[in-house]
Amino acid sequence: MSNPPGTRTIKRCAVVGGGIIGIAVARELASKLPGAHITVYEKEDRLAAHQTGHNSGVVHAGLYYEPGGLKARLCRRGVELLQEFCATKDLPYEACGKLVIAQTPEESKRLDTIFARATANGVPGVRMLRAGQIPEVEPNAVGLSALHSPETAIVDYAAITEALADDVRASGGTIRLGQEVTSLEQQGRGVVVSTQDGREHYDLVVACAGLQSDRLAKAAGEPATPRIVPFFGQYFLLGHEARDQVRGLIYPVPDPKHPFLGVHLTKRIDGEMMLGPNAFISFGRESYAWKDVKVRDILNYALFPGFWNFARQNVPSAVREFQTVVSKQKFIREAVRFVPSLEGASIIPGTRGVRAQAMNGDGSLVDDFVIARRRDAVLVRNAPSPGATSSMAIAEYIVEQALQD
């Protein structure tokens, strides 16, 4: 095999994690290293089992991120790559558009700042709307002002992951399901990957372990922080009698006093209309029901000083989120602020996701992508939203960095 100029010889690569980022990395490695053998380890019996398969399906346009930062750059590149990939594979990609609606003068000022960032990031077609212009985009929505992003889109990330995996297999790669990686051990050259079935040596390993990323990083000799603290997000589905009240996506203006966005309305690629998600501490990193309690995971954050620092700093947010946890009516009221015609609409429980929230010891949340290099291993320690949107661009970035001497 021939490696790209200026890179070291790599014949065997492993990727840990079968979410969209892990599979995108495996595909990128296969593309950049023709002849190398790529192996993906996924502990579940299917791909996209966790964050990838439990998110909103939104392709974020890059409205909020600091211009020039890693998130902004990789988000915009990721959108381009996703559009091209979905077109090539005949996968659904719908640019349904998004409104970020301000309800107060203070929110309007913050929205102006978001508009400036979106413009600097090159988000196509983005524009500000006055109150009277909002119904031109969303006939039933109300607000003081709004930012319109017509190119914000929706997709099926699980289907995209499977299509990426088809390319990995077609290139000769192997995807091992039901294979949990327990440790990564750096050798003089290369890394040994350990599972319950044994140990194998690879020239390069990339870990994209999502909800377990800090544990795997620690097992590889990296610092224990940032720590993953799991927050669940519950979605509800609007009843069929009401889902046509909204055409696309309707979001609130982010409030710097709250670490999480709050309830919003999201069209799904199958035509359903979702409300949510809220954000509240989860009883397990991979717990998708109330009865699914993981004591190990609870102790992991309960004994972490950073979590209690975060909790002390965010009591009002916890109260707001808890209200939406215990009351479906509160969920609906949040949506009615933007679409009054939803008053009295029926809702049913939808999917629940668990967010891999990276947290520092002082309780601050890690906002940007965090990708650590440890000789022959690359560890994705934080890939929050827009991680799925940026997945193929993150893969380009990781592989470019990993192949350098």
Q: Which residue has 């990789």 as its token pair?
A: 74
Q: What is the pLDDT of residue 1?
A: 40
Residues 245 and 315 in one domain: yes
Strand partners, 381: none
How close are the terminal C-alpha atoms of the chain, in Å? 17
Instruction: Look at residue 120 and tell me if it is in a domain.
Output: yes
pLDDT at 2 over 50: no
Residues 261 and 273 in one domain: yes
**CA 280/CA 318 separation, integer angstroms:** 7
Q: Which domain holds residue 335?
A: 96-153+227-359
Residues 121 and 132 in one domain: yes
CA distances, 323 to each of 60, 291, 293 (Å): 27, 20, 21
Residues 165 and 302 in one domain: no
Instruction: Look at residue 90 and tell me if it is in a domain.
Output: no
Q: Which residue has 């991680």 as its token pair?
A: 387
Residues 278 and 398 in one domain: no
Instruction: Look at residue 61 and tell me if it is in a domain.
Output: no
Angle between helices 70-89 and 391-402 (to 10 degrees): 110
Q: Which residue has 């979590």 as its token pair?
A: 307
CA distances, 348 to each of 230, 236, 355 (Å): 24, 6, 21
Q: Which amino acid is at 308?
A: W
Q: What's the pTM value of the predicted model, to 2 decimals?
A: 0.95
Q: Which of 353, 79, 378 is nearest to 209 (CA)?
A: 378
Q: Which amino acid is at 45?
A: D
Instruction: Look at residue 327 and tell me if it is in a domain.
Output: yes
Q: What is the pLDDT of residue 405?
A: 62
Instruction: Look at residue 18 and tell me if it is in a domain.
Output: yes
Residues 275 and 352 in one domain: yes
pLDDT in tens, 299-332: 999 999 999 999 999 998 888 888 878 788 888 8
Residues 210 and 275 in one domain: no
Instruction: Look at residue 69 and tell me if it is in a domain.
Output: no
pLDDT at 174 over 80: yes
Residues 217 and 277 in one domain: no
Q: What is the DSSP letter of 398?
A: H
**CA 168/CA 15 separation, integer angstroms:** 11
Instruction: Look at residue 163 and tell me if it is in a domain.
Output: yes
Continuous segment of H or E residues that includes residue 238: strand 227-238
Instruction: Look at residue 284 and tell me if it is in a domain.
Output: yes
**CA 326/CA 346 separation, integer angstroms:** 16
Are 156 and 91 in contact by the 8 Å Cβ rule? The answer is yes
- Residue 5 pLDDT class (50, 70, 90 cuts): low
Q: Parallel, antiparallel, or unpaired: how do β-strands 198-202 and 191-195 relate?
A: antiparallel
DSSP string, 60-128: --S-SSPTTSHHHHHHHHHHHHHHHHHHHHT---B---EEEEE-SHHHHHHHHHHHHHHHHTT-TT-EE
User: With the C-alpha atoms ordered 234, 239, 240, 242, is the resulting torsion angle positive or negative?
Assistant: negative
Residues 270 and 380 in one domain: no
Residues 231 and 255 in one domain: yes
Residue 120, domain CATH: 3.30.9.10
Count how many domains the chain has. Answer: 2
Q: What is the pLDDT of residue 7?
A: 53
- Residue 274 pLDDT class (50, 70, 90 cuts): very high
Query: What number of CA atoms fall less than 13 Å from residue 45's CA on the CB side?
Result: 0
Q: Which residue has 């993906």 as its token pair?
A: 40
Residues 221 and 256 in one domain: no
Residues 258 and 283 in one domain: yes
- The values of phi and psi at residue 193, to 5°, are -100, 125
pLDDT in tens, 280-297: 999 999 999 989 999 999
Q: Which residue has 């297999």 as its token pair?
A: 169
Q: Which amino acid is at 82?
A: L
Structure tokens at 345: 């609409």
Q: Which of 400, 157, 369, 177 is nearest to 268 (CA)?
A: 157
Residue 385, domain CATH: 3.50.50.60
